[in-house]
């Protein structure tokens, strides 16, 4: 890791020094996956899920396989709940839905909603379109099963962090293009949107920590099955390439000022705004990628407050919107 820049929020320096790994590559992937899986399992074991019923379900795929999901609901569910379809991060090559266990439980407890988190297939073993197909399979399933699940079909929110945020954005594009399932809002936390960041000149002090340019190249190469930044890559794979933003749902986009994804995320937000889409864009000074994992810092608490406010607005019935 390079010397820590004075631009880093002082509260976030200790987090950098405690990171268990420094990069994502073919040589480190197995170890990274093991660390993230263990962390997710510990989170599941240590989170008090009072008032929340958590179930694992297997959603059928068209090819005969299944997609594992974690379904979180109130023990005494209200009628017609909003639903958050959550997609975990991990650079498209790692991660599990258990990584969002505490946040999902908190959302259900706070908002009396349903959260469904997707255990999508990972690259490089399962390259594009496996992950986005799994996410759409779950979206179609929860829409079809809305009455059984107690879900309001008009209040479907999709969201995720990092690669999960990118998949959430791609899912909104896919849903719009197919025209069968309405998505009310997208909650994108430092989303991984554009493979062209791998080849374009970017701000030199972004991407030095946690998710580097080298890791980004490895993640995109693994997912796309080809060198990132080339021609012919569809928006369902890299949503930053979407040519028309018309008809996409409103968005909450949050990113740190030192995150490699800063430019692509701000560009995506501005293009949504130019298309007349409602956008909340939050940028956190001194914050690098995945800073939200350090929950006791002021930056992470500010993010959580911003996310809560945006989510509460997103799930409010249309008649309750100001």
Exposed, middle or buried by CB within 10 Å (0-12, 13-18, 19+), for 118? buried
> H helices within 229-285, ranges in order?
262-274
Give the C-alpha separation, 224 to 126, whole Å: 10
Beta bridge partners, 115, equal 72, 84
Question: How many angstroms separate the CA atoms of 177 and 73, rounded?
Answer: 30
User: Is 30 tagged catalytic?
Assistant: no
Annotated catalytic, 162?
yes
CB count in 10 Å sphere of residue 298: 11
CB-CB contact of 97 with 119 (8 Å): yes
Farthest CA pair distance, the chain: 54
Hey, which bits of 162-263 come out as E strands?
Answer: 185-189, 251-256
How many angstroms separate the CA atoms of 128 and 75, rounded? 37
Catalytic residue among 119, 152, 259, 265: 259
Q: How many CB atoms lie within 10 A of CB 105?
A: 21
Tens-digit pLDDT profile for residues 146-203: 999 999 999 999 999 999 999 999 999 999 999 999 999 999 999 999 999 999 877 8
10-315 in CATH: which number? 3.40.50.1820
pLDDT tens, residue by residue, 228-250: 999 999 999 999 999 999 999 99
- The answer to whether residue 20 scores a pLDDT higher than 80 is no
Q: What is the mean pLDDT of the chain?
A: 95
User: Which residue of the set 117, 162, 215, 222 is catalytic?
Assistant: 162
Q: Is the pLDDT of residue 2 over 80?
A: no
Residue 152 falls in the annotated catalytic set: no
Residue 320: band (very low, low, confident or very high) from pLDDT cuts 50, 70, 90: very low
Query: Is the model's pLDDT at 321 over the cut of 50?
Result: no
């Amino acid at each position: 890791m390079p010397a820590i820049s004075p631009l880093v929020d002082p509260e976030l320096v200790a987090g950098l020094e405690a990171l268990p790994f420094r990069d994502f590559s073919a040589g480190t992937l197995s170890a990274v996956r093991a660390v993230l899986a263990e962390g997710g399992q510990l989170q599941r074991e240590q989170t008090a899920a009072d008032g929340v019923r958590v179930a694992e379900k297997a959603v059928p795929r068209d090819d005969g396989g299944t997609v594992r999901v974690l379904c979180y609901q109130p023990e005494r569910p209200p009628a017609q709940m909003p639903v958050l379809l959550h997609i975990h991060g991990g650079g498209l090559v790692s991660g599990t839905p258990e990584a969002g266990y505490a946040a999902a439980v908190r959302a259900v407890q706070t908002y009396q909603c349903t959260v469904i988190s997707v255990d999508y297939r990972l690259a490089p073993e399962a390259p594009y379109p496996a992950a986005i197909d799994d996410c759409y399979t779950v979206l179609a399933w929860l829409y079809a099963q809305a009455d059984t699940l107690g879900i309001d079909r008009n209040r479907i929110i999709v969201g995720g962090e990092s690669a999960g945020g990118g998949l959430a954005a791609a899912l909104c594009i896919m849903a719009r293009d197919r025209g069968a399932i309405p998505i009310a809002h997208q909650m994108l936390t430092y989303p991984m949107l554009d493979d062209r960041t791998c080849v374009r000149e970017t701000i030199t002090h972004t991407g030095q920590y946690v998710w580097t340019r080298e890791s980004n190249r490895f993640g995109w190469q693994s997912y796309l099955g080809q060198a990132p930044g080339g021609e012919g890559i569809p928006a369902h794979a890299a949503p930053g390439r979407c040519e028309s933003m018309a008809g996409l749902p409103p968005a909450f986009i949050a990113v740190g000022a030192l995150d490699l994804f800063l430019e692509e995320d701000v560009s995506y937000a501005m293009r949504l705004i130019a298309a007349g889409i409602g956008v909340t864009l939050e940028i956190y000074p001194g914050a690098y990628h995945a800073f939200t994992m350090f929950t006791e810092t002021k930056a992470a608490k500010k993010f959580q407050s911003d996310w809560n406010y945006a989510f509460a607005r997103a799930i409010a019935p249309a008649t309750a919107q100001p």
